[in-house]
Structure 1
Amino acid sequence: MNDNFYSNTLLVAKNAHLYFFDSLKGIDVISGRRLVHLTKNEIGRKKLFHYQLIIFLDSGFKVNYPSVIKEFTQAKMILFFWNHLTQKYLNLLEASRKIGLIDSYYSFDPIEAKKYELYHNSTFYTPCVQLPSQLPDYDLFFGGNDKGRGKFADAILDKCANLDVSILLYIINGEKGYKNEGYLPYPKFLEFLVKSNGILEIMQENQTGLTLRTMESIFFKKKLVTTNKAIKHYLFYHPDNIFILGEDSIDNLSQFLKRDYYPIEYEKIKLFESKNWFERFSSVENELLNIEYHDSLLDY
């Protein structure tokens, strides 16, 4: 972000250049550290006064950020949880609520939003590249931090070896996110993705919300093999595109991967586009956002 004003909305993330953030349009993106720096000079304070909506992502959020900027802005401030609400994030939610400067709290997961009395807005995504068409080198790709998923991934790898299904695993260890040794910058991650027929998604324990892997599968038309059993309640679900481990028979995985990708209607995926996502924060908050899933999801 430079000294020009691009938007009335500011997104505050751990790093302004993670994932697809450089491709976002109609919204400014900044790191938390850079946000604090804006308060140190007149130009920065003028920027803060300009914004009408400031959205903090949970990852990288510090509870003192709203206090640091409150005298320089009249913007509505939102804390958006786009990660599974583990105890770490529940503690963050509790600490922030005690301070009382955030106007509204949201979760990307409608189940967790209902459970913890948060507003719901979907996850979001912007395809940052046009993936070239090519014959895949392998059937499935999993890339990410271990977070307890490594053993399960190895078990799937062993099982698939007997099914003539090839999997590329790229698993790193550590709790530092993009600072972990071996971290794949997102463009590099997409280079692996383009060589795969599909994506292997291994959820953390008790996680049901839609992940970045799900978004990649939808927007890049890649097959998804997932442990997320709740995904069948979403409107974009189709059995030709999504294979649910633990429900669909693993013996049918090879046949699933050979079937053509079923085209999904644009109406079922457009709400996940970033521009539609941040515009929804200006809508009436007490309206339940249930246009992405069937009502049965909330009883899951």
Structure 2
Amino acid sequence: MKICVISFDFWNYDEHIVEELKRRGIVANHINIGAYQHKSFSARVQNTISKIVLKRNLKNKQRQEMILDQLKKLGKQDQILVINPELIEREYHEEIKKFAGKYIAYLYDSLARCPAEHLFDLFDEIFSFDKDDAKKHNFQLITNYNYLPESQLDKNPSFDMVFIASYDKRIEILSKITKKLDKMGLSYYAKIVGKKAWKENLNLDSKRTVFFTRRRLAHKDVPEFYKSGKVLLDLTRENQTGLSFRIFEAMALKKKIITDNQTIKDYDFFNPNNILLLKDDLSNLEKSFFETDYKELDPEIYRKYTLEHWVEKVFNL
């Protein structure tokens, strides 16, 4: 069997799908359009001028041409999975589909954030991590996946809470949370990543443990970052109901988690001992949550959220 995954793999999560397919003896390839680079300095300059003068990003077109070039080399695929298909124009989807026995889409952003309705008719099957979108459009609901090996319970972390996220409106909530943690005498470490991070002016209370940077943490270093905290913080993006990868990283690392994602209570792994579902006013953010240990999940429930199970469901293996 031959399977190809096409995605803009900014955080390097999608590569795990390909690795799992290969582990099963499948001929699997990953076309990562996020890894595309200009072929020369002059091409980079030309694209810059085009964006300024014509308001057109030539790199977007070149990325899509790259997909077709690579598929021509790889040949016909039994299945092609496109992750967040709105990043590819319809005319290119129509050409890509010619290489696929089965054409599949996975949406791990909500349609409110990344509209893709104009592409629905192209796919044989569409999966979504967003409960609202899945219900409204009759998609197959599937969460993100736990890609990490199961860890032992760590009872000696460096911080009570850790958090990593892109620079956006979530840092306003983070500011309120850290103020409460300061009053409770709890420690925390947060890393906020983004090109606009230098604009930070929120007067967060403990500057020494909240860092703003343009440089994102390497994917391979994320687990070690999370291991440094007893509790992980998960704050949802605007217009999102799907569960972030942080939920499943916490599951593998046996870390408790604080989240404002109200849909989490609907899942069978939800346990108030492990997961604190924040109220809007943060009134239930109490020190007692940090004083109890993580309770391990039933093995059958744990496996439902592993990468192995995810691959079986999406590709019908």
Which TM-score applies when normalising by structure 1?
Answer: 0.77
Report if the CA contact (8 A) 2:6-2:82 is conserved: yes
Post-superposition offset of 1:167: 1.6
Q: Choose the corresponding residue for 1:55, options 81, 89, 97.
A: 81
Residue 162 (str. 1) matches residue 183 (str. 2): yes
Aligned length: 265
Corresponding letter in the other structure for 1:193: Y
Seen in structure 2, the aligned counterparts of structure 1 residues 248 and 16 have a Cα distance that, compared at 3 Å, is closer
Corresponding letter in the other structure for 2:117: E
Post-superposition offset of 1:198: 1.4
1:198 match: secondary structure: strand
Look up the match of 1:77. 103
Distance in 2 between the 1:277 and 1:35 partners? 27
2:162 match: secondary structure: strand
Look up the match of 1:110. 131
Q: Choose the corresponding residue for 2:3, options 4, 9, 26.
A: 9
Distance in 1 between the 2:289 and 2:150 partners? 26
Residue 119 (str. 1) matches residue 140 (str. 2): yes
1:137-152 correspondence runs (5 A): 137-152=158-173
Distance in 1 between the 2:256 and 2:3 partners? 34
1:1-300 correspondence runs (5 A): 8-15=2-9, 18-19=12-13, 21-22=15-16, 24-26=19-21, 27-32=28-33, 36-37=65-66, 39-40=68-69, 44-45=71-72, 47-49=74-76, 51-58=77-84, 61-63=87-89, 64-71=91-98, 73-87=99-113, 89-90=114-115, 93-97=116-120, 100-127=121-148, 133=154, 135-174=156-195, 181-246=214-279, 250=283, 253-283=286-316
Distance in 2 between the 1:122 and 1:17 partners? 17
Distance in 2 between the 1:264 and 1:247 partners? 27
Corresponding letter in the other structure for 1:82: Y
Post-superposition offset of 1:246: 0.4
Alignment RMSD: 3.0
Runs of 4+ in 1 over 3 A off after TM superposition: 32-41, 128-134, 247-252
Distance in 1 between the 2:304 and 2:64 partners? 28
Structure ID, larger Rg: 2
1:52 match: secondary structure: strand
Seen in structure 2, the aligned counterparts of structure 1 residues 152 and 74 have a Cα distance that, compared at 3 Å, is closer
Post-superposition offset of 1:35: 7.6
Seen in structure 2, the aligned counterparts of structure 1 residues 227 and 10 have a Cα distance that, compared at 3 Å, is same
Instruction: Give me the identity figure in percent.
Output: 23
Distance in 2 between the 1:75 and 1:131 partners? 42
Post-superposition offset of 1:128: 6.2
Corresponding letter in the other structure for 1:191: E
Report if the CA contact (8 A) 1:36-1:69 is conserved: no
Post-superposition offset of 1:273: 1.7
Report if the CA contact (8 A) 2:153-2:254 is conserved: no
Post-superposition offset of 1:212: 0.7
| Structure 1 residue ranges without an equivalent (≥5) | 1-6, 284-300
Corresponding letter in the other structure for 1:213: R
Post-superposition offset of 1:208: 2.0
Distance in 2 between the 1:128 and 1:16 partners? 22
Seen in structure 2, the aligned counterparts of structure 1 residues 60 and 184 have a Cα distance that, compared at 3 Å, is farther
Seen in structure 2, the aligned counterparts of structure 1 residues 229 and 94 have a Cα distance that, compared at 3 Å, is closer
Distance in 2 between the 1:182 and 1:129 partners? 28
Post-superposition offset of 1:251: 5.8
Report if the CA contact (8 A) 2:109-2:240 is conserved: no
Report if the CA contact (8 A) 1:138-1:197 is conserved: yes
Which TM-score applies when normalising by structure 2?
Answer: 0.73
Distance in 2 between the 1:263 and 1:231 partners? 17
Deviations 1:215-265 (A, max 9, x none): 111111111001112211110011110011107974663211121111101
Report if the CA contact (8 A) 2:159-2:188 is conserved: yes
Look up the match of 1:3. none
